[in-house]
């Protein structure tokens, strides 16, 4: 690791929310709540059967808002680290849940969108939403039904804030991937971009993924993340 660590980028995936009770993508074996991904997480699926897609996200939103689902120690320590680390810190998440925000993270990019937001297809305006919505829901800009979709990046769509992400990857000293299988592009390539720009790279996961990080820390996120970040704070 470089003498002076001035900039740290962290990427999280579904594994950081697993201990909070949110199913991972891999655990669904390519199925999500028993639906083929193509049917519920692609623009074509939404085109084919919008009601199924609305229901899929309404169900996941209600699960996220249930009493049982709350941030775990990994989310909390990431927020604590962000506020104690003296250098630049950016948290990029592939997750669409709001557990990082609820734990106190602030400099955060949801590259795949957010479950608690919806978007008007006409104006592209984005609105907070905690209730179910569907084709019949009036949007708050057009005041008519039929224009709303989940503010989620589906497969085949461009992830959000890629310029900001690439700038951070190209200038960081340390890149840490937590709870991600490295199966979904372009997030799966982020560690290589950081490495090419001489960052030290580490993955914290239940198992080694196929990606070639400098460090592989194996264990549950709620255990290994606090330890790793405490050490990182000592050496920065």
- Choose which of 48, 185, 197, 212 interacts with ligand BV8 (CB under 6 A): 185
d(CA 88, CA 217): 23
Query: Which residue spans within the chain are E strands per DSSP?
Result: 7-12, 31-32, 35-36, 88-93, 108-110, 113-120, 126-128, 148-152, 174-178, 200-205, 215-218
Q: How far is the CB of 37 from ligand BV8 (least distance, A)?
A: 7
Question: 138 or 183, CB closer to ligand BV8?
Answer: 183
Whose CB is nearest to ligand BV8?
Answer: 15
- Burial class of residue 60 in the structure, from the number of CB atoms within 10 Å of its CB (0-12 exposed, 13-18 middle, 19+ buried): buried
Catalytic residue among 75, 100, 110, 112: 112
How far apart (Å, rounded) are the C-alpha atoms in residues 94 and 108?
Answer: 11
Q: How many residues bind ligand BV8 (CB under 6 A)?
A: 35
Give the closest residue to 58 by CA, choosing from 160, 136, 122.
Answer: 136
Active site residue 75: no
Does 17 engage in binding with ligand BV8 (CB under 6 A)?
A: no
14 or 172, CB closer to ligand BV8?
14
Rounded CA separation 88/79 (Å): 13
* By CB under 6 A, residue 71 contacts ligand BV8: no
> DSSP code of 73?
H
Least Å from the CB of residue 189 to ligand BV8: 8
Nearer to ligand BV8, 41 or 90 (CB): 41
Kindly state whether residue 221 participates in binding ligand BV8, applying the rule CB under 6 A.
yes
Q: Which residues are catalytic?
A: 112
Q: Which chain residues interact with ligand BV8 by CB under 6 A? A: 13-15, 18-19, 24-26, 41, 94-96, 112, 152-159, 162, 179-181, 183-186, 205-207, 209, 220-221
């Amino acid at each position: 690791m470089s003498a002076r660590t001035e900039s740290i980028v962290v990427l999280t995936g579904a594994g950081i929310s697993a201990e909070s009770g949110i199913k991972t993508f891999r655990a669904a074996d390519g199925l999500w709540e028993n639906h083929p991904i193509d049917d519920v997480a692609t623009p074509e699926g939404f085109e084919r059967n919008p009601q199924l897609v609305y229901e899929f996200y309404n169900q996941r939103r209600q699960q996220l808002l249930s009493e049982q689902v709350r941030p775990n120690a990994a989310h909390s320590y990431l927020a604590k680290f962000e506020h104690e680390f003296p250098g630049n810190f950016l948290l990029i998440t592939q997750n669409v849940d709001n557990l990082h925000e609820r734990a106190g993270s602030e400099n955060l990019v949801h590259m795949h969108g957010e479950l608690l937001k919806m978007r008007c297809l006409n104006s592209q305006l984005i609105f907070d939403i905690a209730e179910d919505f569907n084709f019949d829901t009036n949007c708050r800009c057009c005041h008519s039904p039929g224009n709303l979709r989940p503010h989620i990046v589906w497969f085949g769509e461009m992830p959000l804030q890629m310029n900001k992400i690439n700038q951070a990857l190209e200038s960081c000293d340390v890149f840490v991937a937590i709870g991600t299988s490295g199966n979904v592009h372009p997030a799966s390539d982020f560690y290589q971009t950081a490495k090419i720009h001489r960052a030290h790279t580490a993955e914290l996961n239940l198992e080694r993924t196929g990606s070639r990080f400098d460090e592989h820390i194996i264990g549950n996120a709620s255990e290994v993340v606090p330890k790793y970040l405490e050490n990182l704070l000592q050496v920065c």
